[in-house]
Structures are given as C-alpha cells and as structure tokens.
C-alpha cells in the first residue's frame, strides 16, 4: 500500500487555494495522486489520501501513515491531533454544540426543495415544523404523486394521511 494521509488546516487549505501558501512545495513526489478527501469541521482539518509509487510500501493491515510536509518560514506547522477512536462507542456531542453546528431550518427547507424538479416545486409548498420539513401539495396531484413520493422516500420521508389535509414529512 503506497498511500499516505495529508492533513491540512482549513486556513492552510484556503491559503493554498488562493496561492498564498507554498506548503505543498517540498517533499511531495511528482507522481502523487489525490485519491480521496474528507473535511472534518470539528477539528477544522481537511484530510487527503495521497498515493505515489515513490512512497514506501506499507502492509494493508497497518494504518495509513501521515505524510510529513517540510514547512518553510511562510507556513505554520501542521497541528498534531491525539484522537483515540473506540469503534464500539458512538461520538457524543453536547446538545448545545450540535445545535450550533446545524444550519437554520429554513436552509434545510430550501435544500429539500432543490431535490425536486422545477415542475414538481410548482405543485408543492415547503415549511419547517419541529424537526421535519413538511411538503404539502398545493393542487391535486395526478400522475406526479408517484414521482414526488419517490423523491420524498429517497430523502427518508413518508406520506402522512390526514382527515382533511395529507402531506409528506421529511426528517431534518
């Protein structure tokens, strides 16, 4: 396995995109490839899985080692994180932190709206109620109902049959 993990802080990544930083000049091989990336908003880091034929071959049973970059005077050293992960336990986030990380509910409604085609959006109204987005038909749905129901189900929602008004609920 000729892979390495490259971790950059969000600030370093933004500087790199803007051309203000030369953090990647140095010990990166000329044949490196980025295979995957992940943004971690809790640690404010971006992790890249990088491959190169010039990396030392590591057995697959070993964890992917981190690529150590040589830093020059313009760049800040990469932060070191000591995180121990127990695969059996779920991460615990305090409710206050979880609430601050969530976008406002109106943003959820607009994100849900974008999952539907423009023709379908003309037939529906979107509102946020408690912990779900309520999608109500504003006109009688004929053949469109099945297509809209498929989209709602793909988002984890369900049809709620009411006495007078029926609608879909999609959990946030």
165/136 Cα distance (integer angstroms): 8
- Report yes or no on 94 lying in a domain: no
Q: Please compute the mean of the pLDDT values over residues 9-18 and round it to a whole number.
A: 82
Whether residues 13 and 80 share a domain: the answer is yes
66-109 pLDDT tens trace: 877 665 544 444 444 444 555 665 556 556 555 555 555 566 66
109-147 pLDDT tens trace: 677 778 888 888 888 888 888 888 888 988 888 888 999
Contact 70/26 with Cβ under 8 angstroms?
yes
Beta-bridged to residue 8, according to DSSP, are: 46
Give the CA distances from residue 31 to residues 36, 55, 112, in Å, rounded to whole numbers and listed in that order: 16, 10, 41
Show the domain range for 71.
1-88
* Number of structural domains the chain divides into: 2
- Report yes or no on 54 lying in a domain: yes
pTM attached to this predicted model? 0.39
126/156 Cα distance (integer angstroms): 16
Whether residues 2 and 51 share a domain: the answer is yes
C-alpha dihedral over 149, 150, 155, 161, to 10 degrees? 20
């Amino acid at each position: 396995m000729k892979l390495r993990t490259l971790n950059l802080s969000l600030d370093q990544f933004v500087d790199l995109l803007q051309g203000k930083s030369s953090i990647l000049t140095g010990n990166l091989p000329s044949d490196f490839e980025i295979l995957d990336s992940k943004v971690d908003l809790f640690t404010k880091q971006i992790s890249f899985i990088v491959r190169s034929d010039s990396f030392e071959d590591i057995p697959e049973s070993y964890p992917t080692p981190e690529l150590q970059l040589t830093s020059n005077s313009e760049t800040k050293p990469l932060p070191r994180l000591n995180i121990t992960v127990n695969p059996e336990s779920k991460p615990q986030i305090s409710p206050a932190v979880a609430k601050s990380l969530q976008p406002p509910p109106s943003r959820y409604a607009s994100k849900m709206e974008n999952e539907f085609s423009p023709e379908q959006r003309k037939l529906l109204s979107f509102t946020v109620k408690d912990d779900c987005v309520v999608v109500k038909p504003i006109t009688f749905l004929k053949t469109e109902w099945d297509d809209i129901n498929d989209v709602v189900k793909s988002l984890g929602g369900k049809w709620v049959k009411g006495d007078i008004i029926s609608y879909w609920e999609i959990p946030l």
